[in-house]
Chain A
Amino acid sequence: MSDRKNDSTNDLSTHSLSNLDLETPEKPYLDSNELIINMGPQHPATHGVLRVILKLDGEKVLGTECVIGYLHRGVEKIGENRTYAMFNPYVDRMDYCAAVSNGLGYCEAVEKLMNVEAPPRAQYIRVILTELNRIASHQLWLGTHALDIGAMTPLFYTFRDREEILKIFERYCGARLTTHAFRIGGCQYETYAGFEKDVKNFLTFFAPKIDEYEALLTTNRIWLERTKNVGVISGPDCIALGVTGPVLRASGVKWDVRKAQPYANYSKFDFEIPVGTNGDTYDRYLVRMQEMRQSMRIVEQAVNGIPEGPIMGKVPKVIKPPVGEIYHSIEAPKGELGYFIVSDGSTQPYRLRVRPPSFVNLQALDLMVRGALVADVVAVIGTFDIVLGEVDR
């Protein structure tokens, strides 16, 4: 450990050997200097191009600063220059792990602004696809988060099973990731023959797989050591920092937009909001595992109750919402995803603001890693489940 001392003079070019004060008895044994290091933007554990400037004292984190914007594409500006329907595919490119959720939020916001509603069958299809997407997003999170911490196996398991969801997406709309599954006023496509069977098959296939993931991690001693009491955040702190989604629920705040202000037809389904108690990385893991189970419950109810009928509501060919503004938000896999749209009565939004959950959640990183070790920063970035496409837009 005594070589740690040399850190204080690590810029050797400015020191000739004779300048080095080799006798420093008054200094404490474990003295070290503050060190600023860059993590990212090209770093596998930052899940994209996130740059975190870490201020360290040895292994201890004294402070962080996030540098974001590397993936900024000006989505909001693009929205102002496209018609409402033309902008729809762009939202898939924000949180590309949960493109269906993004599309649902956008379509519902515009529908609300136009005062139209999607027909019941479309609502059911929307809920099924959105919840399947939530499972897929959580699977991707679990695989990569565990990989960051050093458990490689879950990645293969989750990607193997996520494939089954992507196959359903692909058969439904031709795309696996950027689905563009919904249209303003309903759904893009009628379901294919065998859609319901595929979804039911997936449910029976997937139920034991969650147990498999849990068998790998939930009582795994290394996993517990790496996640328990790491990145702790309290419920009031979450609220003050605007943190939503599983992170908020793991801190004991039982709040989910699907329950608090139901949208689509979520009020018809019976499901629970899993909550944690400690607000640490382990609780966030447990909450997301439970959320996958709850999503399966919703999908099961939806696929059994899917009614016949049209999939598109009465929407004019040219979408021209009346003058006015609307804020509509949904519970995306990462938290509250909101759209604030101002219409001037033309075919293009006058202003389109996206309230991305990842962007706001990421702000809590500093609070959560202060005083922790460098290795925990990796765990905490993973536990947020951020997608940089959404942070930067």
Chain B
Amino acid sequence: MAEDVKTPAPPPPPEGEKKPTAEKPVAAAPATPAAPAKPAVPAAKPAAPAKPAGPVPMPWTSPMVEKYRSQYGSGLDPLTYLGQNYLAVDRSLIPDILRLLRDEEQFDYCVDITAVHYPKREKPFDVVWILYSFPRNERVRVKTQIADGASLPSSVPIWPTANWLEREVYDMFGIRFDGHPDLKRILLPDGWKGYPLRKDYGILQQDQEWVQINLGIESGQ
């Protein structure tokens, strides 16, 4: 069973190898609100030659992003990969950023909330919000890293659709969302033990105790 669990690769570049040069000038600059737009543009150029075999995420520049970068500094890393934009955001900024994207930037449709498990990392979970804006016809993803056992603020007050999506993240990864109206398992039975989409949960693994008690059979396999 053990070989079924894939050995996780090193975390993808957005977290580990992001270029510190891309954000430092901006972090230093916020005193002059007009300035931050400029250092970000040259920062995009040195990133291009450092391209390995595959494409890598590039800094994402747009008026919206510049505004938040000057406001939040290094807690926010806007990137773009294969034409898709995303914001790698520090956990502490999540409530603010999600609220701002909804209220000020018209990202009125929360497409999906999900998570990715990197067991070897210090903060093993990436939580991803996929957002869409009807007025702008634009998609953006928000990503943050959290530690095992840490919780996130629920976004149900921002997008009611987050209700079931967050329940599924909780069900599959065991990530808790504070302030969720009804945080319980959604696809698996209530009494189930373990979180199946974690990497240390084998594909053949089951909650044998639950199976024996509730189905009256020795094993689900």
Contact = CB atoms under 8 A, between A and B. Distances in A.
The answer to whether A and B assemble together is yes
Given A69-B186, A392-B187, A338 B8 contact: no
A37 B109 CA distance: 33
A243 B111 CA distance: 9
Contacts of A112: 82
A74 B220 CA distance: 14
B130 A81 contact: no
B188 A72 contact: yes
A102 interface: no
A167 interface: no
Contacts of B109: 239, 242
Q: Which of A78, A112, A342 has the most CB of B within 10 A?
A: A342
A258 B131 CA distance: 18
Contact of A323 (B4, B8, B12, B185): B12
Given A260-B137, A322-B54, A327-B139, A360 B12 contact: no
B114 A113 contact: no
Nearest to B112: A355
Contacts of A324: 12, 54-57, 81-82
Contacts of A95: none
Given A239-B109, A324-B54, A360-B164, A72 B187 contact: yes
Interface string A214-241: 0000000000000000000000000111
Contacts of B108: 239-240
Given A74-B196, A80-B6, A242-B110, A326 B82 contact: yes
A64 interface: no
A253 B137 CA distance: 13
B116 A242 contact: no
B178 to A, nearest CB: 20
Interface in A300-355: 322-327, 329, 336, 338, 340, 342, 344-346, 348, 350-351, 353, 355
A329 B6 contact: no
Given A242-B161, A346-B6, A327 B134 contact: no
A115 B8 contact: no
B53 interface: yes
A336 B161 CA distance: 14
B49 interface: no
B82 A115 contact: yes
A273 to B, nearest CB: 13
A242 B155 CA distance: 13
B42 interface: no
Contacts of A338: 111-112, 130
**Range of interface residues on B (Cβ < 8 Å):** 35 or more
Contacts of A261: 137, 139
B163 to A, nearest CB: 7
Q: Which of A260, A351, A363, A393 has the most CB of B within 10 A?
A: A351
B13 interface: yes
Contacts of B172: 76
Interface residues of A, number: 45
A325 B14 CA distance: 10
B203 interface: yes
B146 interface: no
B216 interface: no
A253 B109 CA distance: 13
B161 A363 contact: yes
A77 B197 contact: yes
Contacts of A68: 186-187
Contacts of A78: 203
Q: Which of A81, A327, A363 has the most CB of B within 10 A?
A: A327
A346 B7 CA distance: 10
Contact of A113 (B82, B134, B161): B82
Contact of B130 (A260, A322, A340, A345): A340
Contacts of B203: 74, 77-78, 80-81
A75 to B, nearest CB: 10
Contact of B6 (A81, A115, A336, A392): A81
A104 to B, nearest CB: 18
Interface in B86-145: 108-112, 114, 116-117, 128, 130, 134, 137, 139, 141
A271 interface: no
B96 to A, nearest CB: 20
B84 interface: yes
Nearest to B5: A81
8 contacts: A80-B203, A322-B53, A324-B82, A342-B116, A351-B114, A351-B117, A355-B111, A363-B163
4 shortest A-B CB distances, which residue pairs? A322-B54, A242-B161, A344-B9, A69-B187
Interface of A: 68-69, 72, 74, 76-78, 80-81, 112-113, 115, 239-243, 253, 255, 260-261, 322-327, 329, 336, 338, 340, 342, 344-346, 348, 350-351, 353, 355, 359-360, 363, 392-393
Given A81-B203, A241-B160, A325-B12, 13 more contacts: A68-B186, A241-B161, A242-B110, A242-B159, A255-B134, A261-B137, A324-B54, A324-B57, A326-B84, A327-B130, A327-B139, A346-B9, A355-B130
Interface of B: 4, 6, 8-9, 12-13, 53-57, 81-82, 84, 108-112, 114, 116-117, 128, 130, 134, 137, 139, 141, 159-161, 163-165, 172, 185-189, 196-197, 201, 203
